Amino acid sequence: MLNSVLIVFTLLQLGSSENLSHPRGIPASKASFYRPAETFRCIQSGKTIPFEYINDDYCDCEDGSDEPGTSACPMMRYYCENLGHKPEYILSSRVNDGICDCCDGSDEFEGEKIQCLNFCEEIGRKDREEKEKEKKLQEEGSKIKLNYIQQGQKIREEKKARLDQVEKEKDEMTEIKSDLENKKTEAETPEKEAKERHEKAWEEEKAKRKAEKEKQTALIVFDEIDSNDDQHVEMGEIMAHSEFDIDADGTVSHDEAKEYLEELERVGRDDFIEKIWPNIKEIFKSKKSDSEAKGDKDSQSTEEKVPDLTPPVADDDEDDYDGDDDEEDVDKQRVSENQDVENKTPEEDEDKMPDYDEETKQLIAAADDARNQFNDADRKLRDAETEMNNLKSFLDLDFGHQDVYASLKGQCFEMTDREYTYKLCPFEKASQRPKSGGTETSLGVWGHWSGDETNKYSAMKYEKGQNCWNGPDRSAHVILQCGMENILLSASEPSRCEYQFEFATPAFCSQEDPNANKETHDEL
Ligand code: MAN
């Protein structure tokens, strides 16, 4: 009887003025360890000590469990009940150290050093208001998030449907293209043959004209040399022409003349053309170019008498009519036709290949048409392939649970600080440009989700941006938070060329109570 009176008295003392049903410094959940009895078992070590040793400001238990409400056991933690706010543990060394640590002031109960006010109610209220606000934000944001999910799923479905369609179109297009390729080949074969025929005929015609011209030129020279007009060129007539002075000694010797006359005494027109002209035409040609170079009057007059023996067909023309059937030749012909229309000499006119005949023209037109159709199909096929690749890359992206972030792709968000305007285009890139103007610097392209193991979708990584001088490639870490709208809240550069963005979006909101898992864990 006396014992129990003593125990109740001791307990009241232990609990001080707060009339606790258990010793000071422990939560109610631990009260069972401290039930009034004659002795107390240290909670972990199991050592037995008299009950009145609890909170006697002397550390008896190795585990410190006999001094939860004093600073005697340094490893102990003191439980602040903090009614009106949330309970917490503080280091027991802080008990009665003259500083108010618990909002209920219970850690300073001696009252000698300091009188603590209980402001738990006040901060508890503020805290509850904050939480309420946050909860509302999460709730409202989550409603918007539902739209995002719907949009995301719609986008995925649309892209998938489009991919199916483009794949089909691509297959059809491949067939059409191969069909048109055959048609093109079919149209090009007769076109090539007709063009070659035309060009060959033209080559023959040109050769004929050239030979005729050459003959005419030879005859003019013949007449020139045949000074007595007896229709023969004789030794004496050759000797009278200084052009035949091979050794340039001022006279054309008998031997020189003989050499030109191929040892004959005299030649008529036909022999001249056939035997002599090939030997002498170069002389007349070089004579002509010499006089052109000098530009003297006499030479001019000679030239008037001696016609230009250079074949009139320009060498380049040979290439033009090489029988090559590609479109380029046709184009070349058209272009040169247009250019030549105005300032063509009659001679050039003669050298120009005549237009293709009607039948060839029709074959060319048909082949042009087949080529155009084929090129068209080829371009469409390539467009379809590009679109397919883009769609596939889009569909390969991880847009979070239920594609909640998909609608962010294609949008960009900016914020400006003192120096730079920062831009974030989710799933694409992050960049920076000086506020004062100047070029954009890449801070990275979409890399991957980089949140922690509890939620990988809580952060994004943009990497492989513009290289930092003497440093890494620029990169940006984007931390997401719940917000009523998509907004780039901040951008900073915690370490050189490594940027950190804060981005708010309804897509990150959650209706789960964020504090649900954050219960205060009792110690001991
Ligand atoms: C630019 C900006 C800065 C960066 C420096 C590094 O000025 O991209 O953010 O720190 O380059 O040289």
> Phi, psi at residue 443, to the nearest 5°?
-100, 5
Give the model's pLDDT for residue 13. 40
On the question of pLDDT at 2 being above 60, the answer is no
C-beta 142 within 6 A of ligand 1 = no
Mean pLDDT of 116-127: 95
Mean pLDDT of 386-411: 98
Q: Is the dihedral of CA 391, 392, 396, 401 positive or negative?
A: positive
C-beta 496 within 6 A of ligand 1 = yes
Cβ proximity of 238 and 225 under 8 Å = yes
Q: Which residue has the tokens 């489009």?
A: 162
pLDDT in tens, 198-207: 999 999 999 9
Tell me the CA–centroid distance for residue 417 and ligand 1, in Å. Answer: 14
On the question of pLDDT at 330 being above 90, the answer is no
Mean pLDDT of 139-147: 97
Give the model's pLDDT for residue 428. 98
Q: Which residue has the higher pLDDT, 154 or 3?
A: 154
Pocket test for ligand 1, best of 416, 497, 498 (most atoms within 8 A of CB): 497
- 121/119 Cα distance (integer angstroms): 5
Asked whether residue 147 is assigned to any structural domain, the reply reads no
C-beta 497 within 6 A of ligand 1 = yes
Ligand 1: residue whose CA is nearest its atom 9: 497
State which ligand 1 atom lies nearest to the alpha carbon of 443: 8
Tell me the CA–centroid distance for residue 456 and ligand 1, in Å. Answer: 29
Give me the count of residues in the chain.
Answer: 524
Nearest partner of 203 among 309, 311, 316, 317, judged by Cα = 317
Tell me the CA–centroid distance for residue 254 and ligand 1, in Å. Answer: 94
Nearest partner of 466 among 440, 446, 447, 435, judged by Cα = 440
Q: Which residue has the higher pLDDT, 110 or 406?
A: 406
Residues 114, 6 share a domain = yes
Tell me the CA–centroid distance for residue 41 and ligand 1, in Å. Answer: 64
Nearest partner of 427 among 442, 452, 413, 448, judged by Cα = 448
Asked whether residue 276 is assigned to any structural domain, the reply reads no
Pocket test for ligand 1, best of 416, 417, 421, 496 (most atoms within 8 A of CB): 496
Give the model's pLDDT for residue 290. 63
Tell me the CA–centroid distance for residue 497 and ligand 1, in Å. Answer: 6
Mean pLDDT of 364-379: 98
On the question of pLDDT at 89 being above 90, the answer is yes
On the question of pLDDT at 17 being above 90, the answer is no
C-beta 493 within 6 A of ligand 1 = yes
Residues 113, 13 share a domain = yes
State which ligand 1 atom lies nearest to the alpha carbon of 493: 9
On the question of pLDDT at 301 being above 70, the answer is no
Cβ proximity of 320 and 326 under 8 Å = no
Q: Is the dihedral of CA 215, 220, 221, 226 positive or negative?
A: positive
Q: Return the CATH number at 450.
A: 2.70.130.10
Give the model's pLDDT for residue 344. 56
Mean pLDDT of 34-56: 95
Q: Is the dihedral of CA 83, 87, 92, 95 positive or negative?
A: negative
Give the model's pLDDT for residue 20. 58
Residues 12, 106 share a domain = yes
Asked whether residue 230 is assigned to any structural domain, the reply reads no
Asked whether residue 343 is assigned to any structural domain, the reply reads yes
pLDDT in tens, 275-294: 999 988 888 766 656 666 66
Give the model's pLDDT for residue 351. 79
Confidence label for 334 from pLDDT (cuts 50, 70 and 90):
very low
Pocket test for ligand 1, best of 417, 467, 468, 475 (most atoms within 8 A of CB): 468
pLDDT in tens, 190-241: 999 999 999 999 999 999 999 999 999 999 999 999 999 999 999 999 999 9
- Could you tell me the CA-to-CA distances from 214 to 106, 203, 316, 447 in Å, in that order? 128, 16, 19, 77
Ligand 1: residue whose CA is nearest its atom 5: 497
**Lowest mean pLDDT across 112-126, 346-360, 443-457:** 346-360
Asked whether residue 74 is assigned to any structural domain, the reply reads yes
Give the three-state DSSP class for 202. Answer: helix
What does pLDDT average to over the chain?
86
On the question of pLDDT at 446 being above 80, the answer is yes
Mean pLDDT of 128-151: 96
Asked whether residue 97 is assigned to any structural domain, the reply reads yes
Tell me the CA–centroid distance for residue 408 and ligand 1, in Å. Answer: 27
On the question of pLDDT at 99 being above 50, the answer is yes
Q: Which residue has the higher pLDDT, 458 or 5?
A: 458
- C-alpha angle with apex 259: 257 to 260, nearest 5 degrees? 65
**Lowest mean pLDDT across 20-24, 66-70, 219-223, 492-496:** 20-24
Cβ proximity of 240 and 251 under 8 Å = no
Pocket test for ligand 1, best of 416, 432, 441, 475 (most atoms within 8 A of CB): 441
State which ligand 1 atom lies nearest to the alpha carbon of 466: 8
| Contacting residues for 227 by C-beta, under 8 A, at least 6 apart | 237, 240
Nearest partner of 216 among 126, 349, 309, judged by Cα = 309
Tell me the CA–centroid distance for residue 397 and ligand 1, in Å. Answer: 30
Give the model's pLDDT for residue 519. 44
Pocket test for ligand 1, best of 416, 442, 493, 500 (most atoms within 8 A of CB): 493
Cβ proximity of 277 and 211 under 8 Å = no
Cβ proximity of 101 and 109 under 8 Å = no
State which ligand 1 atom lies nearest to the alpha carbon of 432: 8
Mean pLDDT of 175-183: 98
Tell me the CA–centroid distance for residue 419 and ligand 1, in Å. Answer: 11
Residues 415, 334 share a domain = no
Q: For residue 3, what is the enclosing H or E element?
A: helix 2-15
Nearest partner of 238 among 254, 223, 249, judged by Cα = 254
pLDDT in tens, 472-523: 999 999 999 999 999 999 999 999 999 999 999 999 999 876 555 444 444 4
Residues 11, 111 share a domain = yes
Nearest partner of 508 among 460, 462, 476, judged by Cα = 460
Domain termination site, one of 118, 139, 172: 118
State which ligand 1 atom lies nearest to the alpha carbon of 496: 10
C-beta 469 within 6 A of ligand 1 = yes
- 157/221 Cα distance (integer angstroms): 89
Domain termination site, one of 338, 353, 368: 353
**Lowest mean pLDDT across 105-119, 295-309, 363-377, 400-414:** 295-309
The percent of residues in the chain predicted with pLDDT above 90, rounded, is: 73
Asked whether residue 100 is assigned to any structural domain, the reply reads yes
Residues 340, 423 share a domain = no
C-beta 432 within 6 A of ligand 1 = yes
Tell me the CA–centroid distance for residue 478 and ligand 1, in Å. Answer: 18
Tell me the CA–centroid distance for residue 118 and ligand 1, in Å. Answer: 50
| Domain count for the chain | 3
Ligand 1: residue whose CA is nearest its atom 3: 497
Q: Is the dihedral of CA 175, 176, 179, 184 positive or negative?
A: negative
The CA dihedral of 72, 77, 81, 84, to the nearest 10 degrees, is 130
C-beta 441 within 6 A of ligand 1 = yes
Ligand 1: residue whose CA is nearest its atom 4: 497
- 207/204 Cα distance (integer angstroms): 5
Domain termination site, one of 353, 377, 401: 353
Ligand 1: residue whose CA is nearest its atom 2: 497
| Contacting residues for 99 by C-beta, under 8 A, at least 6 apart | 108, 114
The percent of residues in the chain predicted with pLDDT above 70, rounded, is: 81
Residues 11, 107 share a domain = yes
- 131/133 Cα distance (integer angstroms): 5
Domain span at 57: 2-118
Mean pLDDT of 45-58: 96
Asked whether residue 519 is assigned to any structural domain, the reply reads no
Residues 340, 416 share a domain = no
Rg, C-alpha atoms of the chain: 53
pTM of the predicted structure, to 2 decimals: 0.66
On the question of pLDDT at 166 being above 90, the answer is yes
Residues 417, 343 share a domain = no
